[in-house]
Amino acid sequence: MDKVRWGIIGVGNVTELKSGPAFNKAEGSELVAVMRRDASKAEDYARRHGVRKWYADAAALINDPEVNAIYISTPPSSHAMYAIQAMRAGKPVYVEKPMALNHRECLGMIRVSEETGMPLFVAYYRRTLPAFLKVKELVDSGEIGKPLTVNVKLYKQARERSLKPEEMSWHVNPEISGAGHFYDLASHQMDYLDFVFGPVEEVLGIAVNQAGLYPAEDTVTATFRFQSGVTGTGSWCFVVDPATEKDEIEIIGDQGKITFPCFRFGEVVLENQMGVHKFRFINPENIQFNLIQQVVNNLLGKAECVSTGISAARTSCVLEEMVKSYYG
């Protein structure tokens, strides 16, 4: 492969700025085709983003001979189906997170990747962003001594309170998303912690629906332990009062701690025996650019990529364990 020529399946909101433009900006990469079931919206996206081809049928895009790699940006319920079709057609896949509707589907995607030899990547881009790389550097270099435990807190208000059920996002429909907002957001946090500390080997969770606004869980509490020995707790609630919203990950070692947000733009704060140190970083205009460049480099044989189907499937397994008390 001398150049990665991308086709996108599902050009929704995430592709407008976060990912889509990066496929043309990355070195050795070009976006040549897009697909959306609504033909007029596919055509509109192609026109606005300068893409030469557009489709209303995923199979047509997958089988386009000019397209040699596929980015899947549909809701999770169709990730596995499209990824498997693409890999069986001989096309590497970069898929949005969470990787699939459930862990079983993730394993099916990995099996087809191994059978076909087609690489499989997942859009956990925090593994490549400056602030998150700094946190990993601080941990790895011993700035807080031996890492002991991690605390994750994410509390958000419920925008669904003012909506009718038919007006709500697919993110709170478990048949499409796998669970609720928890899968969409906590997946980033737990995948990043997998990047820093390695796989989780033990997890216990309680998931409930406290507000009754939609079918999915809205509150999750969990404890977990990494193979490296670091323990952790997590608390997620998506129906709090706006005044109590919180976004924080705290990593505590035997000689200090690191505190940083996962979603809002803020500082990485290091507190250790040398005092308090604050670090601030600027993200790329297209937040997925760094990871997309890694994927392209991997496909061109230049470098490895830090976010694969193997690592992403671990995250899906952990999330599933955390909510299984609710879904059975």
Average pLDDT of the residues in 309-315: 98
Average pLDDT of the residues in 126-136: 98
Q: What is the pLDDT at residue 179?
A: 98
For the chain, the average pLDDT equals 97
Q: Is residue 87 predicted with pLDDT exceeding 90?
A: yes
Neighbours of 285 (CB within 10 A): 11
Amino acid 244 reads T
**Per residue in 30-63, pLDDT tens?**
999 999 999 999 999 999 999 999 999 999 999 9
**Per residue in 166-217, pLDDT tens?**
999 999 999 999 999 999 999 999 999 999 999 999 999 999 999 999 999 9
Confidence of residue 320 (pLDDT cuts 50, 70, 90): very high
Domain segments of the chain as ranges: 4-124+287-305, 130-282
Q: Is residue 308 predicted with pLDDT exceeding 90?
A: yes
**Per residue in 137-168, pLDDT tens?**
999 999 999 999 999 999 999 999 999 999 99
Q: What is the pLDDT at residue 1?
A: 86
Q: What is the pLDDT at residue 19?
A: 98
Report percent pLDDT > 90 for the chain.
Answer: 99
Whole-prediction pTM value? 0.97
Confidence of residue 125 (pLDDT cuts 50, 70, 90): very high
Q: What is the pLDDT at residue 62?
A: 98
Q: Which residue has the tokens 């070692």?
A: 253
User: Among positive and negative, which fits the CA dihedral 197, 198, 199, 202?
Assistant: negative
Distances (CA, A) of 119 to 90, 110, 254, 290, 304: 10, 9, 39, 18, 11
**In sequence order, what DSSP letters do the residues of 203-227 get, joined into one string?**
EEEEEE-SS-SSSS--EEEEEEEET
Neighbours of 107 (CB within 10 A): 16
As its CATH architecture, domain 130-282 has 2-Layer Sandwich (3.30)
Give me the CATH topology for the region 4-124+287-305: Rossmann fold (3.40.50)
Task: Look at residues 93, 100, 124, 83 and name the one whose alpha carbon lies nearest to residue 4.
Answer: 93
Distances (CA, A) of 2 to 27, 68, 114, 300: 11, 10, 23, 7
CB-based contact 191:315 (threshold 8 Å): yes
Angle (nearest 5°) at CA 45 between 44 and 48: 85
Q: Is residue 313 predicted with pLDDT exceeding 90?
A: yes
Average pLDDT of the residues in 247-254: 98
Q: Is residue 328 predicted with pLDDT exceeding 90?
A: no
**Per residue in 265-307, pLDDT tens?**
899 999 999 999 999 999 999 999 999 999 999 999 999 999 9
